Amino acid sequence: MALRIEREAAAGVALVTLDRSAKLNAIDLETAGELTSLWRGLRFDEAVRAVVLTGAGTRAFCTGIDRGVEVPQPPSPYAVDDPLLRIGPKANDLWKPVIAAVEGMACGGAFYLLGEAEFVVASREATFFDPHTTYGMVSAYEAMAMAQRMPYGEVARMALMGTAERLSAERAYTVGLVSEVTEPGGAVAAALRAAAVIAGCPTEAVQGTVRAVWAAKEAARTQAMAQAPALIALGNLPPEQQAELFGARGGGGQPRVR
């Protein structure tokens, strides 16, 4: 199992941990399937009224899709098979509130998860970045998700500069991506405290509010995401060239953190 789930029955809160610390909590196909099953199952679990999502260890919350995953793609430039499209709670019709607790790196495909969380709590040592352009890939779904949470210029800068620049927790708080910054190691505890407060409110009111807030941005997000498959298919380098860039650039040099 790539997920660890701990339930606090008295508080009505579930703590979900991406448990692949050796891989910086990158998501392989098994993990993607487990996340989908988890969210769909939680719809029926009346004992869980709020969820905290985090990553194992302190090095990373999640670093996106595992580079070892191979996903065959259809030949049409208008169709892209993306295994991460169903890893978030909203994609699986779960309207219980989800709070993300970030320690370390959150990058690339992690934004699929952060984009569907109600809010984000981050350790002071957390960093956020998008490596796609560095390795010859279009940042489409990731940038679209962040465009719902951050000012346009901040999203554009992060997405276009790739691994060369990382958003610090303090900067992420300033631009609205993060709602609370904690001391190192404190993100989960802070998120659990907030989740317990939310779980103590009437369930129907909470889920209705989650749905209402999501509806405020859902139309624009849906229209934007409809463009993503063609943009990715037309703009991505072939996989072998992406791999060459990844091998040649490694971590992309020393990133600038702001």
Sort residue 81 into left (φ over 0), alpha (ψ -120 to 50) or beta.
beta
Strands, E, within 35-133: which ranges?
A: 50-55, 60-62, 98-102, 105-107, 119-123, 127-129
Q: What is the pTM of this model?
A: 0.91
The helix, strand and coil proportions of the chain, stated in percent and rounded to the nearest 5, come to 45, 20, 40
The values of phi and psi at residue 124, to 5°, are -60, -25
Mean pLDDT of the chain: 92
Report the pLDDT value the prediction gives residue 257, as an integer from 0 to 100.
80
Contact by Cβ (8 Å): 236, 137 = yes
Report the pLDDT value the prediction gives residue 173, as an integer from 0 to 100.
98
pLDDT in tens, 188-241: 999 999 999 999 999 999 999 999 999 998 878 888 888 888 787 788 888 778
Report the pLDDT value the prediction gives residue 252, as an integer from 0 to 100.
52
Report the pLDDT value the prediction gives residue 227, as an integer from 0 to 100.
83
Report the pLDDT value the prediction gives residue 178, as an integer from 0 to 100.
98
Whose CA is closest to 15, among 192, 143, 223, 164? 192
CA distance readout (Å), 62 to 25, 77, 128: 5, 28, 10
Distance of CA 235 to the CA centre of its chain: 22
